[in-house]
Amino acid sequence: MSKEMRKVRTGSVVRTRMNKTAVVEMVWKQPHPIYGKGQRRVARFYVHDPQGQCKVGDVVRIQETRPISKTKHWRLLQIVERHQVADVRPIELEQDPQAAGTAAAPASGGSAGA
């Protein structure tokens, strides 16, 4: 296959658990042949990522290549857009044992008197 004829695709990374491999998903809509309603179509590609640069959620460009393994026939060209992850910290709850004990006491005392 000549280098000019190799296919180039753009998709988002959905899995990076394997060593030197990323799974890229390309999603598009296609109308149903009879009813015309839009259908969601998905293609998944196993991509060779030798340095492990990809992270889940990244938008990448991949290119068709010779078979690298049984399922890998694509290689990473470039990372188009990095996935932005917000820094969210869990809310720190007050750890006051006296406040927890007093909150439980009226609830049990009120139900025993009734």
Give, for 72, the enclosing helix (H) or strand (E).
none
Q: What is the rounded distance in angstroms from the CA atom of residue 38 to the CA atom of residue 17?
A: 32
Element (H, E) at 20: none
Q: Domain-by-domain residue ranges, the chain?
A: 3-81
CATH class in words for 3-81? mainly beta
pLDDT (tens digit per residue) in 87-98: 767 766 555 656
What does the angle CA 63 – CA 46 – CA 54 come to, to the nearest 5 degrees? 80
Could you read off the pLDDT of 19-55 as tens digits, one per residue? 999 999 999 999 999 999 999 999 999 999 999 999 9
Q: Which pTM was predicted? A: 0.69
